Chain A
Amino acid sequence: MTALLELRNCSKVYKSGFFSPKVTVALDDFSLIIDEANPTITAVVGESGSGKSTLGSLLMGFIGPTTGQVFYRGKDMTRLSGPERWQFRQDVQAIFQDPFAAYNPFYKVDHVLTVPIRKFGLARNKEEAREMMGDALRKVGLRPEEILDRYPHQLSGGQRQRIIVARAMLLKPKIIVADEPVSMVDASLRATILESIYTLHKELGVSVLYITHDLTTAYHVSNQIVVLYKGSVMEGGEVSNVVKQPQHPYTRLLIDSIPWPDVNLQWGKEPVIKDDGSSPTTTNGCKFASRCPHVMPKCREAAPTFFEVNPQQASACYLSESSPALAKSDLQRVLNKA
């Protein structure tokens, strides 16, 4: 069985400056397989600059990897034929962060729904198209009569984002790449949007790549999680394991920094160590070393491999050295168990 979408040893390097270019490794030797047979929701978490959006862009084919390959149904993405590329565009859909920038303010919101219907020839006539739009909107919990024939500025951020989810759904995709879909909407509305995405996954068997910096929502919607820092995977595995018993200091820092809605919980027990720049993205050692409270001399010499903390969780940190070591390519196996 060939994977629907696969990243194989992908790296993306950005250079800035002409004479002595500053090299930034946005994604470092990353592999991921998204299977068609068993749809999953994979959360990719990390702070700004961790390479999570680069990963999303690679999967959607917006950018190509510097080294490594992206495969779609077993075929290298750069070698897709016209019809295959068309199929790819239908199979892989995106939900972006900003529900305000996703619309052309001069068009009514119907536009974002009618364009895919027309381009992909989903409906035979106008009534059918109207019907499809209505169905899609109802599925994400909107009332079509309140939404259609309106301009984007007349709708709330939450409504706009749900229309984008509806649009993604119209095309019956296999994969949805959701890049921070809820970070710009009110906390009280996040639940409804995540719920629509979750329903998509459950009812239509869509795989979702949920890119976020928020571990709480990642915990609630996803099955498996990958924690990225400066382009490298720090920890991965089944989501409850990783979030409830984080092994990597970076995952712990992320969880420790969440402001919990509970006045009895103390926010930020451990202080945040500032990045002094001694671990650039091109280092041989562990990239988190300069901010790690448990840093050891060997961390700066060679980056740790993955250690299998338990069958459903792997951490790239010498603190878990007592657990069996894993090859980098084995991370997918750990993720698949989730």
Chain B
Amino acid sequence: MSADSTGRSGVASGTKPVLSVKDLCVDYYTDAGRLRACDNVSFSLYPGQRLGLVGESGSGKSTIALALMRMIKPPGRIAGGRVMVGDDDLTAMSDNEMRSARMRLIGMVPQAAMSALNPVIRIRAQIQDVLQVHEPNLTYSQVQARIIEVLEAVELRPEVANLYPHELSGGMKQRVCIAIAVALRPKVIIADEPTSALDVIVQRQVMETIGRIQREMNIAVVLIGHDMGLMAQFVDHLAVMYAGKLAEIGPTPTLFAKPNHPYTHMLISSLPTLGQKGVFRGIPGITPSLLALPTGCYFRTRCPYAMDVCSSEAPAQVAFDGGHVASCHLSSVPGGLTGRVEAERDAEAKLHPASAETGTGDAGPNKTGGFS
């Protein structure tokens, strides 16, 4: 894997995972019944590694983020499974132990930086807060030195400490949140859509900062989001969530080159590129309600390749080479997903030979929603 501007790199094998999640289940109890927002999710992360967690709204990705921080509040509950950071089992900790572990072992960069910072307190006090609670032995001057150190680590001037959140731009606020998250040098950071409110250039700068700090401090990062473009450029492993379940997980280049779950394939092709102008391929339909999930495979209602077996049986996880795991019945069909996609492309080319050659995308309406 080539190192790029954000410094993505592989990881040495044989080391112990810094974060391991095993069969994690999270339930929410609502008036309409119990729903499982996170269903038997397992993955592990090694030091310095970057894992992307993608899915549409309601797929359970933010629930996982909260569960890893043990911040699921009633009516939600961690119903089972285990979250280990190094040798510490977060799920077995008492509330007090967890309070001390939070930010120290596992930090979080929230989605909405504006609402994550207290609007009436200066930045200095907000960073100081974290340091004083977790490291009460620090002297005043040590705390001040650390504040300047973390601000400089996220490329902010030390004077920013004296400002209030409203005096900062969106990108700067997000940088302050990153500074707070790394102030105690945690082993893992969870970044929940850290750039969703920022524009492209600021997004790139913020991601570069997260990447650099992550590399320098050898922190493992879980990046949560729905933008496959950002994932392709930032993470080295990718987990695709659908309706609370892990649809597919594996190294990013493998997943992009040869996805083994139709949802992954559709997520990738739903993104506009500079190829065929005016051709959009959205994913038809919406995510099913977690209270009324379809039988068998949860994705079958939106899957263009659904077969009979999909409605009767939930697909098991199938492991491929290089830590690539997918849950799809197509894995047991000769040719798999790749075969189906190619067959579909050939059929389309036969129907509309002209458009396939010139690539003008005038293929007329199709079920994935192309238009021109």
A109–B271 CA distance with the chains assembled, in angstroms? 29
Interface on B for A, CB 8 Å cutoff? Answer: 2, 4-6, 56-58, 169-170, 196, 198-205, 207-208, 226-234, 252-253, 256-257, 266-268, 270-274, 277-284, 286-287, 369, 371
**Docked-complex contact B4 and A254, CB < 8 angstroms:** no
Interface 1/0 per residue, A170-201 and B, CB below 8 Å: 00000000000000101111111011001100
Q: Is A40 an interface residue when CB atoms closer than 8 A count as contact?
A: no
Smallest Cβ-Cβ distance to A258: which chain B residue: B200
**Docked-complex contact A262 and B371, CB < 8 angstroms:** no
- Which of B267, B273, B283, B286 is A262 in contact with, Cβ under 8 Å? B273
State the main secondary structure of chain B at its contact with A: loop
**Docked-complex contact A47 and B201, CB < 8 angstroms:** yes
Q: Is A120 an interface residue when CB atoms closer than 8 A count as contact?
A: no
**Docked-complex contact B200 and A257, CB < 8 angstroms:** yes
**Docked-complex contact B271 and A219, CB < 8 angstroms:** no
**Docked-complex contact B232 and A263, CB < 8 angstroms:** yes
Closest-CB distance, B156 to chain A (whole angstroms): 11
Interface on A for B, CB 8 Å cutoff? Answer: 47-48, 156-159, 184, 186-192, 194-195, 198-199, 213-217, 219-221, 240, 243-244, 253-254, 257-263, 265-269, 271-272
- Which of B198, B201, B256, B369 is A254 in contact with, Cβ under 8 Å? B201
Residues from chain A with a CB closer than 8 A to the CB of B271 are 187, 216, 261
**Docked-complex contact A259 and B229, CB < 8 angstroms:** yes
- Which of A158, A187, A215, A259 is B270 in contact with, Cβ under 8 Å? A187
A265–B2 CA distance with the chains assembled, in angstroms? 10
A244–B275 CA distance with the chains assembled, in angstroms? 10
Q: Which 4 A-B pairs have the closest CB atoms?
A: A191-B282, A191-B280, A267-B233, A213-B199
A195–B203 CA distance with the chains assembled, in angstroms? 26
Closest-CB distance, B115 to chain A (whole angstroms): 14
- Which of A158, A189, A257, A259 is B234 in contact with, Cβ under 8 Å? A259
**Docked-complex contact B256 and A158, CB < 8 angstroms:** no
**Docked-complex contact B201 and A266, CB < 8 angstroms:** no
- Which of A194, A198, A261, A267 is B256 in contact with, Cβ under 8 Å? A261
Residues from chain B with a CB closer than 8 A to the CB of A198 are 278, 371
Residues from chain A with a CB closer than 8 A to the CB of B204 are 257, 259, 267-268, 272
**Docked-complex contact B232 and A261, CB < 8 angstroms:** yes
Q: Apart from A184-B196, A243-B274, what 16 extra A-B contacts exist at CB < 8 Å? A: A186-B226, A187-B271, A188-B283, A190-B270, A190-B272, A191-B282, A194-B280, A195-B369, A253-B201, A257-B201, A257-B203, A259-B233, A259-B234, A260-B229, A261-B256, A269-B5
Closest-CB distance, A32 to chain B (whole angstroms): 22
A265–B271 CA distance with the chains assembled, in angstroms? 15
A192–B281 CA distance with the chains assembled, in angstroms? 8
**Docked-complex contact A263 and B270, CB < 8 angstroms:** no
From B58, B203, B228, B272, name the one whose CB has the most chain A CB atoms within 10 angstroms. B272
**Docked-complex contact A188 and B229, CB < 8 angstroms:** no
**Docked-complex contact A188 and B58, CB < 8 angstroms:** no
28 pairs, A vs B, C-beta closer than 8 Å: A47-B200, A47-B201, A48-B199, A156-B58, A184-B196, A187-B271, A188-B226, A188-B283, A192-B284, A194-B280, A195-B280, A213-B200, A216-B274, A219-B272, A219-B274, A244-B274, A258-B200, A259-B204, A259-B227, A260-B229, A260-B232, A263-B232, A263-B233, A263-B252, A263-B253, A263-B257, A268-B5, A272-B205
